[in-house]
Structure 1
Amino acid sequence: MYSTIQFLHSYWAYLVLTILVLATFNALIKFFGNKEFQANDFRISLFALIVTHIQLLLGLILYFVSPFGLKNITANGMGGLDSFSRLLAVEHPFVGILAVVLITIGYSKHKKKLTSRPKFKVLSIFYTLGLILVLSRIPWSNWF
């Protein structure tokens, strides 16, 4: 089970990054370009929300079945973790949850705005913050 969930979590991350970058740049470009909010913009931001939530669910399952997650903390204690183990067991999950929360807040707040510019502003801010957090805690050494 562990290897299957790890595989899904690792390769789903490519889709998450692609869609999140697309949604973020879409919101930024249309905010600064004073464009009208259209159905396609709604779909892009919704799809980014959906794929990040699926990634979060995969990550939470992985956290509890992986030897690098909760089991590592239980076995070694917080003081016994080296920097890479701390990244996988503490920083990556915490910052990932925080990023998904920001993306969710941005998506929820944009729906309450009535005009295009405020919608894109909210999406730009929260999706950019979420993207920065996601990029900051990817275990890049495992990807390449």
Structure 2
Amino acid sequence: MYLYLLLFHSLIRWLVILFMLVALFKSWDGLLKGRVFSKTDDRVRHWTATVAHLQMMIGIVLYAKSPVVNHYWSGAEPAGQGSGASFFPLIHLLLMLIAIVVLTIGSAKAKRMLTDHDKFKTMAIWFTISIILIMIAIPWPFSPLSQRPFIRTF
């Protein structure tokens, strides 16, 4: 089950990024052009947060089942991982949790704003901060923190 969840988590990452980019485009476009905040904009806001929350829940299950995390917390010496040994147990976990909290706050605040300008502005600011954190915390193949392939396979 762990490997299937890991594959699913790796694939959903792209869905989260796609939703975030669409939400960011719509929020910045709406803010800069003074558009009306439409039902589509609200749906994008809602589904971006929902997909990110789904990804977080899968990540939490993976965290509990991960041999890398369990090895780290057992106190054993990391086997040839250097500073990357703490990436998944600490850095990835904390940055992603903070990113989802920021995204959730931004989504909730945008939903409650009274003017269209304030809705777009709130989404643009909070979602931008969130995607920056997400992009830092993803283990890209070129990351100095920890490397994983763009698409994980078995």
TM-score by structure 2 length?
0.87
Report the 3-state secondary structure (helix = DSSP H, G, I; strand = E; otherwise coil) of the residue aligned with 1:143: coil
- C-alpha distance in 2, partners of 1:64/1:36? 43
Work out whether residues 99 and 133 of structure 1, in 8 Å CA contact, stay in contact via their aligned partners in 2: yes
Q: Which residue of 1 aligns with 2:73?
A: 74
Q: Which residue of 2 aligns with 1:143?
A: 149
Give the percent of matched residue pairs that are identical in Structure 1 and Structure 2: 29
- Give the gaps of 5 or more residues in structure 2: 142-147
- Which structure's residues are more often helix, by fraction? 1
Report the 3-state secondary structure (helix = DSSP H, G, I; strand = E; otherwise coil) of the residue aligned with 2:50: helix
Work out whether residues 92 and 137 of structure 1, in 8 Å CA contact, stay in contact via their aligned partners in 2: yes
- Give the gaps of 5 or more residues in structure 1: none
Residue 76 of structure 1 deviates from its aligned partner by 3.1
- C-alpha distance in 1, partners of 2:98/2:3? 25
Runs of 4+ in 1 over 6 A off after TM superposition: none
Q: Provide Cα deviations, 1:52-102, integer angstroms capped at 9, x if missing partner.
A: 000000000000101122x0222236x857322211211011100000000
Count of residues paired in the alignment = 142
Q: Does 1:18 align with 2:18?
A: yes
- C-alpha distance in 2, partners of 1:143/1:46? 29
